[in-house]
Each structure stands twice: as structure tokens, then as C-alpha cells.
Structure 1
Amino acid sequence: MNRPRYQLGTLYSEPRKSGPDVWVYRWRETDEQGRRTLRKQIVGTVRELRTQADAQRAAETLRLSVNRYTIDHGGSVVTVHKLVEHYRMKEMPMDTHEGKTRATKLVYQNCLKLYIVPRWGDYPLRRVTSVEVEDWLKTLKLAASTRTKIRNLMSTIFRHAIRWGFLGQQENPIALVRVKAGRKRVPDTLTGEEFRALMAVLPDRERVMGGICATTGLRVCEVLGLKWEDIDFVRKTANVLRSYVSGSIGPCKTEVSQQPVPLDAITLQRLIAWRGLCAFGADTDWIFASERLFGKLPVWPDILRSRILQPAAKRAGITKHIGWHTFRHTYSSLLAATGSDVKVVQELMRHAKVSTTMEVYTHAGMDKKRVAQSKAVDVLFNRTPQQT
């Protein structure tokens, strides 16, 4: 089969009737029958790409797509950096439609910017080897889970190269890279006494936030994504519909996460009390709205953790490493310790995969979840079972 000849293409600016001028990339394609066709595509506006050098860099990604069949026949050499830019242009827009959360996209971007491109950007694709990548990952002073994410993202990028014909079907060097996925340390959890001591020294807002995390297992991003209208005070449930990550409202981590969770009587009482104290108590308001932002967005969890939660833990005499996720780990461990059914624990924690807890295929009802939840709350608040 005749391959299309390599096309260098030309780049120039072109005026438009309305709006700023645009940079246009033009090239000719030769099909298998030898016919020549003129093609062009807008690379970006002159406002986005202020110099021709900027436009040339942006056009390089497009040039890769145009010449993807010619890289083994005297065409351009594809480096990891060029491949990453091609992946960003072709795959990143699709991520929006495939359910990837904002947090996942930020992790991808950070891994590319901080680790993958600085280390491997200038390497031709076939110069990257499994052993070299594996040895490099071992030198990174990162959590095992983060090293695993970097490895998986590199594998995704190389699969992208195979899909587009930059590499052969069996040329993914990352497929043979081994990474230990175990934790460096076991996450800390709180005892009932430690939890009560911490609650006693926290301000009202943070006390309610921590209480929700510890009695429902919600992630802090999901707690901050709650509005007052999401709380059903009659049915004693919370509808988890969204999350707040890095200053942006988005979907929850998984579809399983978007399920109603039961609310214990103590948690409901504290929510009612907080609604009477907070500045934003309308149904459409965020439960933990930022006063500095006039209620338009929830508060920022990282600032609360470093300035309020962790100092409060020290005042309470707690030496463990404390964060908002500590409450979720505490809830999970208490559910297991109180002898709850594995399937109930899985659904209360809203794990996406059954394997996260155990391979159980029965459905747990809301009443059974509430009983298990109340047992955990009994321990946290030193409450006798008769009070449930």
C-alpha cells in the first residue's frame, strides 16, 4: 500500500470578518491513488498565540496527526513531549464526555508537567525503555499511589501513540514497568475518646463538617458540595449530587458516590443548629458557604485543615497525622470493628468496586445501613444503644 508523502505544511495568519485574526495551518495530502488535496485547519487566534513561534509550537501537534503514517519513512521524529501535546489535543477534550472528574484531570496535568515531560520530554518514543522508567520511578520520593498514577498515565500516553500509528501494536514499554502500589504507612484513625476531644475544641463550622465526615463517610469535597436543599430532614438522608474540588463544582468521584446516605439524629441536630448560626441558610445556599466569597462557593478545605483542624488536634493532645480524610477512615474502621455486614460497609462507604471491600452481591437496604451507622456513631459520641 502506498503511504501518503510527508507534508511539512505552511503556517500563516488570516483575517476574519469578526473577531481577531487566526493562525492557519495549510498542507496537501496525497491519497493512495496519488490524488493531491489541499487541506487547512485553524490553529488558534493571534490573541491566544501572540507570536509565530507560539503558533508553530501549537501547529506541531497538528503536524503529527497529518504525518502519522510517515514517521518511519524519513518524517519527523516523535518525542515524548510532542506525543504529550498530541494527547492533550486529541484525548483531553474527550475526557469531559467520559466522566473524568476535575480532580482526575488536575492529577493528569500535574503528573505531566512536574514529572513525565521534564524527565522524558526530549526522548524519542523508541528510546524509552521499561527498565529505565522503572528505575526512575523508584527514585521519586512520592507516595506509592502517586508513582502508580504516573506509571499508568505514561502507559495511557503510549497506548495513544499506538492508536495513532506512532508506534507498533506491541511497542508500549510501560506495559512491563512494575510499581509497588502499597501504602507507605497505614492511615491514622481516631478513637472515640480522641474524636470527642477534637470535637470539643473545634469551632462550630468545622465541628459540623468533621461530624458529617465521621458519621457518613463522605469525602470532604462531597460535604462541601452539599446545599441545604440536599438534606431531607424528614427521611433523615443527604443527597450527594456534587463535589467541590480545587475551587470548582463538579460531579462526584464515581456514579456510586452519587447516592443518598443516611443521617444520624446527632448529625441532623448539629445541622439544624448550624443553619441557625450560619450566614447562608436558604435552601439553595451551600451548607458551608464562604463568607469571603459572599456565599457563591463553599469554603476552602485545605485552609481549614491547616489553620483550624490540625492546630485543634494538637490542642486536644492528638499526635496523629490529622486531615479531613481521617474522619472517613475512622468511620470505615468503626463499621468494620462493630461487626457490620461487608455489603453494608461497602454501600455506606460508596466504594465503586466490590473488590474494595469484598465480593458480595446482596443489596443492603436503608434500614440496615442506618443500624450499622448508629453503631459507629454510638462509639464516637459515647452514646448508649437505647438512645438510637
Structure 2
Amino acid sequence: MNRYQQGSLFKAKRKGCSDVWVFRWYDYSSGKRIYKKKIIGSVAQIRSKREAEKAVAALRSSINFDIGTPHTVCELPAHYRVHELTQEKKSFSTIDNHRNLFKRYIEPRWGSLRLGSIRTLEVEEWLHSLPLAPASKAKLKCVLSVLYNHAIRYQWLTFNPISRVRTSQRRLRDKDVLTPEEFQKLVQQLSVRDRAMVLLIGSTGLRRSEMIVLTWLDLNTRTMEVNILRSCVRNRFGKMKTEASCRPVPFHPVVLNAPLVWRAQSPYAMDLDFLFPSPRLKGARPLSPDSILEKSIRPALARIGVVGKQIGWHTSLIRWRRICAHSVSTLRSHRS
């Protein structure tokens, strides 16, 4: 078994330009020891060795991902990525979010420390110092705790110091929601396509990643249910976020007419076509929900005099779900 290696970080001189930081290590992936090196950045960009160490933290962890027991925090995410953060076990959104948190927050601050040297109060103070919303801090704490639970599962540690870190998920401000009157005025301002989209997501509580990939075959008008079979996050199609999310979702009969009117006008009305296809891509891919929100829904809200509210797909439609005949708990109990 190959031993852990820290690699070597040094400053190299260049002719005709500023010096650069270089990281070198040995690669054993081919069965042979191969000397490799990579330029991290120029001295003008990275002025101190401490900054260069932070920049090389992720690369240093990747050269040890298939070797024995991790010793530092930076080595632990590398092992977790390979054994747990896979498409077979996690959804694409979970994988992407975890990787971003590793790279942006966890590895730069804690990567160089040994696994057993992290203290609960230090992590708590660090989280409080970050310019993030309480919910984002709680999510960051959760991801860091998952890493330590992973280490405990492999019997590298016996205690999770993150489990005692205190965080709050209390919102800095209340969510902005539309009243029933505002919602009804909004629907009247929208096109046939956008009206069907808003009514469907408003009455069922679908995630936007689930809504945009619906096909006409997924809309069961006989049982009055929407079959949720896939999702699309950042233009990537994949499985559902949770197994419970795959259950069919009932929708109210009042909502049925809007999708049917849109289907009669849509140039892509076959069973396997998307409900909300992109005209620019000739129906090959669905529309972007962010684009609809910016170009259609928010301008419509401005026209009816709704200003000063931060409107998103879920926050704006909560109130409408309350006036549907089915209760939110019946419609989307598995979303809790």
C-alpha cells in the first residue's frame, strides 16, 4: 500500500515573467511511480505561501484518495467522494452541493488540520463568523458532520465533534408570499403556457426541478395524478432527490383545464414531449424555470402592483396551495 504523501509546494523562477508557485507529487495510479508537477499560480496572484497552501489543499487531498487511512480533514472529503458521493448513492444536486461546500468552505479553513484536532467551539465560532444565512450555516455544519460520521463508520475516529456544534435555522426575514387575490391577478396576466406552469406547481407543490421535466405522459388525467419520475438540476437529468419523491402527486380538478388548453396550442404535444419545452432547442430540452421567473412572472407581478416582495417558485405559491381543495399535507406529505 502506498504511503500518504503531502507533496511539495515551492516557488519557481520564470524567465520573462513573475515567479510561480509549483506543486509536485508522485502518481502511483498506473502501478509505477511517476513524477508530476502543476503550476498553482503566479506570485503576483498568490503572494504568500499560506495562501498557496490553501489553493493546493484540494489537489493535495486528491493525490491520496485511494490510499489507507486519512490523517487530515482535507484527506477525508477525498475518501468520502469516492465511496459515498457517487451517482448510485446520491442525486446530482446533493453531489454538486457537497463538492461546492468542500471546496469553498471546509477545505480552505480546516483542510490542513488533523482529524482529531478540530474542536467543537472552534467550528461554532467559525460558522457564526461566516456571512451566510442561518439555514446555510446549518447545512454547512451538517455536511461537516457527515464527513466525521463517515470517519467513525470506517473506525478512524470514535467521536464526532461537530455533533455538539450549535446552530440556528431561524430565518432572518419571513418568506414573501402572494395573497389569493394577488395570485389570481397574476394568473390573468400570464400566457397560456406560463399560466399552466404556475397553476400546476402552485397546486401540487412540485419542486421546479421536477416540474420542468414533466412529459404529457406523466400527467394522468384519469386518476388526477402527476407521476414524478425524474428531475433536472443545472441542465442535468437524474433521479429524484428522495425515494418518497417518486410517489404520484394528486392535483385539483380546477387546475386540469390549464394544461389541457396549453397542450392544444403547444407545437410539442406528443405523449413523450415535455410539458414546457424550449422553443429555441426545438423541444429537445425543457425551459429554464429561472428564465420564466425573470422574463414572465416577475414582470407580470410588477404590472399588477406587487412590488417589494422577493418572489420565487415556492415562496410565492404557498398561499395558493392553501386555498386548494386538497390540503398541503395530503398533497405533499412526503415533502416534509
| Corresponding residue to 1:23 among 10, 30, 46 | 30
The residue correspondences of 1:1-388 to structure 2 (distance < 5 A) are 7=3, 23-24=30-31, 52-53=36-37, 58-63=62-67, 65=68, 68=69, 78-93=71-86, 96-98=87-89, 100-167=90-157, 169-170=158-159, 172-319=160-307, 320-334=309-323, 345-352=328-335, 356=336
TM-score normalised over the length of structure 2: 0.78
Q: Is the 8 A contact 1:218 1:328 kept in 2?
A: no
Aligned residues, how many?
296
Tell me what 1:373 maps to: none
**For residue 15 of structure 2, what is the aligned residue in structure 1?**
none
Q: Could you tell me how far apart the structure 2 residues matched to 1:271 and 1:141 are?
A: 42
Paired with 1:302 and 1:313, the residues of 2 have a C-alpha distance of 15
SS at match of 1:52: strand
Q: C-alpha distance in 2, partners of 1:116/1:12? A: 25
Could you tell me how far 1:218 is from its partner in structure 2?
Answer: 1.8
- Say if 1:217 and 1:327, in contact at 8 Å, map to a contact too: no
Q: How far off its partner does 1:174 sit?
A: 0.8
Q: Provide closer, same or farther for how the CA distance between residues 56 and 314 of structure 1 changes in structure 2, counting only shifts above 3 A.
A: closer
Displacement of 1:190 in angstroms is 1.5
Change (3 A) 1:253 1:328: farther
Q: Residues 122-168 of structure 1, C-alpha deviation per residue, up to 9 Å, x if partnerless?
A: 2222332111110111122222222111101101112222333443x
Contact 1:257 1:350 in 2 (8 A): no
Q: What one-letter code is carried by the residue in structure 1 that aligns with 2:84?
A: E
Q: Secondary structure at the match of 1:53?
A: strand
Residue 286 of structure 1 deviates from its aligned partner by: 0.6
Change (3 A) 1:315 1:219: same
* Larger-Rg structure: 1
Structure 1 residue runs without a partner (length 5+): 14-21, 27-45, 72-77, 357-388
Q: CA deviation at 1:11?
A: 5.2
CA contact (8 A) 1:188 1:321 kept: yes
For residues 266 and 75 of structure 2, the distance between their equivalents in structure 1, rounded to whole angstroms, comes to 51
The TM-score with structure 1 as length reference comes to 0.68
Query: In 2, are the aligned partners of 1:210 and 1:327 still within 8 Å (CA)?
Result: no
Distance 1:24 1:196, change over 3 A: same
Q: What amino acid is the match of 1:153?
A: V
Tell me: CA distance 1:211–1:345, structure 2 relative to 1, closer, same or farther (3 Å): closer
Instruction: Give RMSD over aligned pairs.
Output: 2.8
* 1:161-195 CA distance string (max 9 Å, x none): 2333443x12x221211111222222222111100
SS across alignment from 1:61: coil
Range 158-167 or range 51-60, more displaced: 51-60
For residues 111 and 59 of structure 1, what CA distance do their matches in structure 2 show? 20
Change (3 A) 1:220 1:173: same
Query: How high is the sequence identity, in percent, across the aligned residues?
Result: 33
